[in-house]
C-alpha cells in the first residue's frame, strides 16, 4: 500500500526501522508512554527529586571540563521557570537538539551551582511547542536518524484509521473472552492512541498474548509430532531394583522427587524415546531420581550411563551411588580419563560386553573408544556444561536410548515451556527437609579485617573455606582483586598459618582435580578460586563461602557458589565482601534475602535479560516483539493453557474457527508450514 507523505529518503529511514509495508507501520509500536499528567512544572523541581518535565530549549552548548570530559548542556523553560539540563559525556547531542526544540525529560534533579536536571531519558518533541499534553498520554516510538520520533508519530497518526479499517480479527471469540482481551483492531488503536496508560496496557496485553499463544501452539505441536515419531525402548516397570532402592534409602523421597520419578518411569515405560529435562535447585536431590531411572534400565537388562562435567563430580556420583546401591549388590562402573590403564580397560570391557550395569563418568564416556553393548538410558548431569554435540554423543552410544538431562539452574516453568520446545520437563521445586539455611550477608570493604578474623575462627574449629574472585590475574584494565595475587596476599598474612591452595581455569585439569580432591579430603583449609568451583562439588566440612567483588557475578552464579556450603550439619556462611554501588546492592540484597533458586533465576532474568543468561547462541529461543515471557508470566501460563486446549480439540487447526489462526501462523512463522498443512 502506498503511503502519503513518504518520499524515497524517508522510505530509506523507515526501512532502517524495518518498516517496509503498511502493516509494518501499523505494528511499529510505542516502546513506552509518557503520561503528561505526571509532568511537573519546572519551578517546582527540588534537588533530590526524580522528575519529568516538558520545556523549550532557550540555549545550549558543549562545555569541556578539566578532566577532558565534554558535557552537553541546555537550558529549558516552561511557563513556570527555567532549569539547566546536563548530559555529561554526550557532546554529540549538540547535533540532535536545536534551540526552540521542545524536550520531554525524565531524571534526577541535583544541586550543582543551582538546580540541574540529569536526564535518564529524553524525547525531542520537535520545534512546534505542543502545549496541549494536558491529560494526554504520549506514545513514544523507536526512531532513527532521518526519522525523528515525532515524524513517525505523525505518520502513524495520519494513517492509523485507514490501516485499522483493514484489520480483521482471527482469534476465535471464545479465546478473546477467556483472556478478557479486546479484538485486534481495538487493541492496536489502544496501543497507538491510548487515552490512559491503563488503556495502552490493555491493548498491549492482547498483542503480547497473541505472540505467546502462537509460540506455544507451535512448540506444543512440534513436541507432540516429535514424540509420535520418536520410537524408543519400552521398559517394563518390574519394581524389583527400584523398590529395593526405595526400601534401602535412609530418607523419604520428597513429594517433588516422587512426582519426577513417576514422570520419568512413565516415559521410559512408553514405547517412545524419552527426551526429558529434570531441573531442580542445588541440593534438591536430582541424583537419586536419576538413580531410579538407571535401575529401571538395569532391571530390564539394559545399561545406564551418567555423565558429569568433571572427574571430581563423576567420582562423587560413583561414591554416592556405591553407597546407595550396596544393599542391591550393584557396583557402579567409573569411567574417567585418569583411571589407571588396567582399570580403564576392564571398565571398557564390561561396557562393551552389554552386561546390565550403571556407568558413571566424564566425557570419557563419549570417546570413540568407549562402546556400550546395550545402552538403554543416557543421563547428562549439569547439562549446560556440555555442548550440544557432546550431549547428543552420549545418546548415540546405544540403540535409541532414553535421554535424561539434568540442570541446576532452574527457570520458571512458563519460561522453560517457551524455551525448551522439544523437551519434556520435570521439576524438583522442593528441597529435602532439615537443611540449615546458609547465612548470607553483604559486608563493606571496611569490614575486611573482621571478616578475615571470622573466617580464621571457623578454620580454627576445623572447618574449611572458599574464597572466590572474579578474575585470575591482575590486569591494567581493571582494579579488581585477582585470585592469584590475593592467594599470595592471604597466604602471607591473614592465613599464614593455614594450608591454602589456588584454583582457576588456567590450572591444568589434572592439577585442578587433585587440588579439589585434597580439599575434599581435608588436606587444604582454604581454597582460593575463581568460579571453576561452581559445579556440584560436595564438601560438607566447608562452611564459609567468601566472595569478593560480588557485583561482578550474576545472581544465579552466586547461588551456585553459595550452594557449595551448608552441605553438612554445621551452620554455614556466605559473605559478599566489597563496596558496591546502589544498583548492585539492590541486586545482592535480593540474593541475600532468599535461597530459592527459582526466585533468584527470575530476578536474574528480569535484571539481565534472557540473552545474557542463555547466550544469543541458544538456538530455538523464540524472540518476541511485544511479549516478555518472564514479565508477562501469568499471561504466558494462560497462553500455554489456551494453546494446549486448542490443540487437544483440534490438533491440525482445521476447524472453521481456527483457520484464521492457522493462516496467520503460516504467514508469520516458517516452521508452521511443516507443523500444520498450511496454504
Ligand atoms: P542436586 O540436585 O544438587 O544434584 P544431590 O542429588 O546431590 O542434589 O542431593 C543433595 C543431598 O541431599 C545428597 O546428600 C542427597 O543424599 C540428599 N538427599 C536427596 N534426597 C533427599 C531426601 N529426600 N531427603 C533427605 N536427603 C536427601
Ligand atoms: Mg547434582
For residue 253, the CA-to-ligand 1 centroid distance in Å is 9
Whether the per-residue pLDDT at 134 is higher than 70: the answer is: no
Q: What is the CATH number of domain 33-138?
A: 2.40.50.140
Q: Whose CA is nearest to atom 24 of ligand 1?
A: 432
Instruction: Answer for the pair 91, 56: CB distance below 8 angstroms, yes or no.
Output: no
Strand-pairing partners, residue 123, are 104
For residue 619, the CA-to-ligand 2 centroid distance in Å is 25
Instruction: Answer for the pair 37, 52: CB distance below 8 angstroms, yes or no.
Output: no
Atom of ligand 1 nearest to the CA of 538: 7
Atom of ligand 1 nearest to the CA of 287: 6
Instruction: Grade residue 476 by pLDDT with cuts at 50, 70 and 90.
Output: low
Neighbours of 669 (CB within 10 A): 16
Range in 374-378, 380-384, 402-406 the model is least confident about: 380-384
- Which ligand has the shortest distance to the CA of 254? 1
Q: Whose CA is nearest to atom 17 of ligand 1?
A: 285
Atom of ligand 1 nearest to the CA of 254: 23
Question: DSSP assignment of 212-240, as one string?
Answer: HHHHHHHHHHHHHHHHHH-B--------S
Instruction: Answer for the pair 147, 14: CB distance below 8 angstroms, yes or no.
Output: yes
Q: Whose CA is nearest to atom 27 of ligand 1?
A: 432
Atom of ligand 1 nearest to the CA of 251: 24
**pLDDT at res. 607:** 73
Q: What is the CATH number of domain 241-428?
A: 3.40.50.300
Query: Tens digits of per-residue pLDDT, 248-266?
Result: 999 999 999 999 999 999 9
Instruction: Answer for the pair 48, 98: CB distance below 8 angstroms, yes or no.
Output: no
Cα–Cα distance between 594 and 574 in angstroms, integer? Answer: 12
Whether the per-residue pLDDT at 324 is higher than 50: the answer is: yes
Q: Whose CA is nearest to atom 5 of ligand 1?
A: 285
- Which ligand has the shortest distance to the CA of 306? 2
Strand-pairing partners, residue 404, are 276, 379
> Strand, helix or coil at 658?
helix
Instruction: Grade residue 213 by pLDDT with cuts at 50, 70 and 90.
Output: very high
- Which ligand has the shortest distance to the CA of 282? 1
For residue 62, the CA-to-ligand 2 centroid distance in Å is 57
**pLDDT at res. 609:** 60
Cα–Cα distance between 466 and 527 in angstroms, integer? Answer: 5
E strands of 14-120, at which residues? 32-35, 50-64, 70-77, 82-88, 102-111, 115-117
Atom of ligand 1 nearest to the CA of 320: 16
Three-state SS sequence of 482-539:
EHHHHHHHHHHCCCCCCCEEEECCCCCHHHHHHHHHHHHCCCCCEEEECHHHHCCCCC
**pLDDT at res. 135:** 46
- The position carrying cell 539452574 is 409
Tell me which of 278, 287, 323 to substitute to probe ligand 1's pocket, judged by most ligand atoms within 8 Å of the beta carbon. Answer: 287
Atom of ligand 1 nearest to the CA of 324: 16
For residue 566, the CA-to-ligand 2 centroid distance in Å is 15
For residue 536, the CA-to-ligand 2 centroid distance in Å is 5
The architecture that CATH gives domain 439-614 is: 3-Layer(aba) Sandwich (3.40)
In whole numbers, what is the pLDDT of the chain averaged over residues?
Answer: 88
Atom of ligand 1 nearest to the CA of 280: 2
Whether the per-residue pLDDT at 601 is higher than 90: the answer is: no
- The position carrying cell 551448608 is 566
- The position carrying cell 553407597 is 323
Sheet bearing 573-577, strands edge to edge: 439-443, 573-577, 542-548, 464-468, 526-529, 500-503
Q: Do domains 33-138 and 241-428 have the same CATH topology?
A: no
Helix (H) or strand (E) holding 247: helix 241-248
- Which ligand has the shortest distance to the CA of 252? 1
- Which ligand has the shortest distance to the CA of 279? 1
Inter-residue long-range contacts of 622-625, CB under 8 Å, 24+ positions, other chains counted: 622/215, 622/418, 622/419, 624/208, 624/211, 624/212, 624/215, 625/27, 625/29, 625/207, 625/211
> Residue 171's Cα: distance from chain center in Å?
31
For residue 502, the CA-to-ligand 2 centroid distance in Å is 24
Pocket of ligand 1 (CB under 6 A): 251-254, 257, 280, 282-288, 408, 432
Cα–Cα distance between 589 and 586 in angstroms, integer? Answer: 5
**∠ CA 17-22-28, rounded to 5°:** 40
**pLDDT at res. 588:** 93
Atom of ligand 1 nearest to the CA of 282: 3
Three cell numbers written together for 49 = 527529586
- Which ligand has the shortest distance to the CA of 246? 1
For residue 519, the CA-to-ligand 1 centroid distance in Å is 21
Tell me which of 432, 556, 569, 595 to substitute to probe ligand 1's pocket, judged by most ligand atoms within 8 Å of the beta carbon. Answer: 432
HSE of 559 in the Cβ direction (CA atoms, 13 Å)?
Answer: 26
Q: Whose CA is nearest to atom 13 of ligand 1?
A: 285
- Which of 45-54, 307-316, 573-582 has the highest mean predicted lDDT (pLDDT)? 573-582
Question: DSSP assignment of 131-175, as one string?
Answer: ---TT-EEEE---BTTB-HHHHHHHHHHHHHHHHHT----S-HHH
For residue 283, the CA-to-ligand 1 centroid distance in Å is 5
Query: What value does the mean pLDDT take over residues 340-354?
Result: 95
Neighbours of 413 (CB within 10 A): 17
Query: Tens digits of per-residue pLDDT, 11-31?
Result: 888 888 888 888 889 999 998
- The closest of 83, 126, 142 to 108, measured between CA atoms, is 83
Percentage of the chain beyond pLDDT 70 is 94
For residue 435, the CA-to-ligand 2 centroid distance in Å is 16
**pLDDT at res. 652:** 92
Tell me which of 259, 261, 277, 285 to substitute to probe ligand 1's pocket, judged by most ligand atoms within 8 Å of the beta carbon. Answer: 285
For residue 286, the CA-to-ligand 1 centroid distance in Å is 7
For residue 446, the CA-to-ligand 2 centroid distance in Å is 36
Q: Whose CA is nearest to atom 10 of ligand 1?
A: 283
Q: Whose CA is nearest to atom 23 of ligand 1?
A: 253
**pLDDT at res. 12:** 85
Query: Tens digits of per-residue pLDDT, 507-547?
Result: 887 888 889 889 999 999 999 999 887 666 789 999 999 99
For residue 287, the CA-to-ligand 2 centroid distance in Å is 6
Atom of ligand 1 nearest to the CA of 289: 6
- Which ligand has the shortest distance to the CA of 290? 1
- The position carrying cell 540474593 is 591
Whether the per-residue pLDDT at 101 is higher than 70: the answer is: yes
- Which of 469-478, 561-570, 609-618, 652-661 has the highest mean predicted lDDT (pLDDT)? 652-661
- The position carrying cell 516510538 is 141
Instruction: Grade residue 121 by pLDDT with cuts at 50, 70 and 90.
Output: confident
Query: What value does the mean pLDDT take over residues 99-125?
Result: 86
Atom of ligand 1 nearest to the CA of 257: 23
Domain chopping of the chain, boundaries: 1-31+141-165, 33-138, 208-229+632-678, 241-428, 439-614
**pLDDT at res. 487:** 95
For residue 547, the CA-to-ligand 1 centroid distance in Å is 25
**pLDDT at res. 33:** 84
Atom of ligand 1 nearest to the CA of 288: 6
- Pick left, alpha or beta for residue 341 (phi over 0 → left; psi -120 to 50 → alpha; otherwise beta): alpha
Instruction: Grade residue 232 by pLDDT with cuts at 50, 70 and 90.
Output: very high
Instruction: Answer for the pair 648, 218: CB distance below 8 angstroms, yes or no.
Output: no
Q: How much is the CA Rg of the chain, to the nearest whole Å?
A: 30
- Pick left, alpha or beta for residue 543 (phi over 0 → left; psi -120 to 50 → alpha; otherwise beta): alpha
- Which ligand has the shortest distance to the CA of 559? 1
**pLDDT at res. 621:** 58
Range in 92-101, 191-200, 474-483 the model is least confident about: 474-483
Query: Tens digits of per-residue pLDDT, 138-164?
Result: 788 888 877 877 788 888 989 999 999
Phi and psi, residue 137, nearest 5° = -100, 130
Q: Between 38 and 425, name the one with better pLDDT.
A: 425
For residue 319, the CA-to-ligand 2 centroid distance in Å is 13
**pLDDT at res. 421:** 66
For residue 429, the CA-to-ligand 2 centroid distance in Å is 14
For residue 510, the CA-to-ligand 1 centroid distance in Å is 27
Atom of ligand 1 nearest to the CA of 563: 3
Question: DSSP assignment of 441-464, as one string?
Answer: EEE-GGGHHHHHHHHHHHHHTT-E
Question: DSSP assignment of 126-140, as one string?
Answer: ESS-----TT-EEEE
Tell me which of 253, 255, 283 to substitute to probe ligand 1's pocket, judged by most ligand atoms within 8 Å of the beta carbon. Answer: 283
- The closest of 163, 200, 207, 158 to 183, measured between CA atoms, is 207
Amino acid at each position: 500500500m502506498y503511503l502519503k507523505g513518504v518520499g524515497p529518503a524517508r522510505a530509506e529511514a523507515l526501512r532502517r526501522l524495518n518498516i517496509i509495508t503498511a502493516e509494518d507501520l501499523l505494528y511499529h509500536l510505542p516502546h513506552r508512554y509518557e503520561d503528561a499528567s505526571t509532568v511537573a512544572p519546572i519551578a517546582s523541581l527540588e534537588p533530590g527529586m526524580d522528575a519529568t518535565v516538558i520545556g523549550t530549549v532557550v540555549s545550549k552548548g558543549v562545555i569541556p571540563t578539566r578532566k577532558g570530559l565534554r558535557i552537553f548542556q541546555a537550558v529549558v523553560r516552561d511557563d513556570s521557570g527555567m532549569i539547566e539540563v546536563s548530559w555529561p559525556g554526550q557532546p554529540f547531542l549538540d547535533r540532535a537538539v536545536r534551540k526552540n526544540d521542545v524536550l520531554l525529560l525524565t531524571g534526577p534533579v541535583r544541586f550543582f551551582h543551582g538546580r540541574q536536571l540529569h536526564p535518564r531519558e529524553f524525547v525531542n518533541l520537535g520545534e512546534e511547542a505542543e502545549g496541549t499534553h494536558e491529560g494526554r498520554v504520549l506514545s513514544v516510538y523507536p526512531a532513527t536518524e532521518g526519522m525523528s520520533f515525532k515524524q513517525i508519530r505523525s505518520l502513524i497518526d495520519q494513517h492509523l484509521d485507514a490501516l485499522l479499517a483493514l484489520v480483521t480479527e482471527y482469534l476465535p471469540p471464545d479465546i478473546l473472552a477467556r483472556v478478557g482481551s479486546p479484538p485486534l483492531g481495538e487493541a492496536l488503536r489502544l496501543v497507538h492512541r491510548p487515552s490512559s496508560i491503563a488503556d495502552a496496557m490493555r491493548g498491549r496485553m492482547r498483542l503480547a498474548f497473541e505472540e505467546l499463544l502462537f509460540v506455544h501452539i507451535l512448540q506444543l505441536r512440534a513436541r507432540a509430532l516429535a514424540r509420535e515419531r520418536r520410537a524408543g525402548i519400552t521398559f517394563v516397570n518390574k519394581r524389583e531394583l527400584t523398590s529395593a532402592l526405595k526400601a534401602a534409602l535412609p530418607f523419604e523421597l520428597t513429594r517433588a522427587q516422587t512426582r519426577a520419578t513417576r514422570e520419568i518411569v512413565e516415559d521410559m515405560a512408553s514405547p517412545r524415546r524419552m527426551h526429558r529435562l529434570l531441573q531442580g535447585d542445588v541440593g534438591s536431590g536430582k541424583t537419586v531420581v536419576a538413580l531410579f531411572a538407571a535401575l529401571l534400565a538395569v532391571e530390564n537388562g539394559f545399561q545406564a550411563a551418567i555423565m558429569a562435567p568433571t572427574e571430581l563430580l563423576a567420582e562423587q556420583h560413583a561414591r554416592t551411588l556405591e553407597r546407595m546401591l550396596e544393599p542391591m549388590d550393584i557396583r557402579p562402573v567409573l569411567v574417567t580419563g585418569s583411571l589407571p590403564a588396567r582399570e580403564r580397560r576392564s571398565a571398557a570391557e564390561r561396557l562393551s560386553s552389554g552386561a546390565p550395569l550403571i556407568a558413571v563418568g566424564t566425557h570419557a564416556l563419549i570417546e570413540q573408544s568407549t562402546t556400550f553393548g546395550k545402552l538403554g538410558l543416557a543421563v547428562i548431569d549439569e547439562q549446560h556444561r556440555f555442548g550440544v554435540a557432546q550431549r547428543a554423543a552420549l545418546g548415540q552410544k546405544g540403540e535409541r536410548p532414553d535421554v535424561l538431562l539434568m540442570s541446576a539452574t532452574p527457570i520458571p516453568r512458563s519460561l522453560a515451556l517457551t524455551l525448551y520446545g522439544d523437551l519434556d520437563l520435570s521439576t524438583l521445586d522442593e528441597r529435602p527437609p532439615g537443611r540449615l539455611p546458609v547465612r548470607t550477608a553483604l559486608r563493606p570493604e571496611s569490614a575486611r579485617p573482621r571478616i578475615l578474623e571470622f573466617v580464621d575462627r571457623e578454620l580454627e574449629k576445623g572447618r574449611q573455606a572458599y574464597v572466590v574472585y572474579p578474575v585470575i590475574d591482575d590486569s591494567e584494565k581493571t582494579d579488581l582483586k585477582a585470585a592469584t595475587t590475593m592467594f599470595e596476599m592471604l597466604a602471607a598474612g591473614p592465613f599464614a598459618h593455614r594450608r591454602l591452595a589456588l584454583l582457576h581455569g588456567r590450572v591444568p585439569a589434572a592439577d585442578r582435580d587433585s587440588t579439589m580432591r585434597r580439599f575434599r579430603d581435608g588436606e587444604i583449609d582454604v581454597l582460593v578460586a575463581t568460579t571453576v568451583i561452581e559445579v556440584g562439588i560436595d564438601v560438607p566440612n566447608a562452611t564459609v563461602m567468601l566472595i569478593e567483588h560480588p557485583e561482578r557475578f550474576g545472581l544465579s552464579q552466586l547461588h551456585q557458589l553459595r550452594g557449595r556450603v551448608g552441605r553438612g550439619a554445621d551452620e554455614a556462611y556466605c559473605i559478599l565482601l566489597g563496596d558496591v554501588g546502589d544498583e548492585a546492592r539492590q541486586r545482592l540484597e535480593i540474593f541475600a534475602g532468599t535461597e530459592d533458586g527459582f526466585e533468584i533465576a527470575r530476578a536474574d532474568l528480569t535484571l539481565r535479560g534472557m540473552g545474557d543468561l542463555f547466550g544469543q547462541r541458544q538456538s530455538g529461543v523464540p524472540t518476541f516483539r511485544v511479549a516478555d515471557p518472564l514479565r508477562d508470566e501469568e499471561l504466558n501460563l494462560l497462553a500455554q493453557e489456551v494453546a494446549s486446549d486448542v490443540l487437544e480439540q483440534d490438533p491440525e487447526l482445521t476447524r472453521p474457527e481456527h483457520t484464521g489462526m492457522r493462516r496467520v501462523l503460516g504467514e508469520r512463522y516458517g516452521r508452521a508450514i511443516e507443523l500444520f498443512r498450511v496454504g
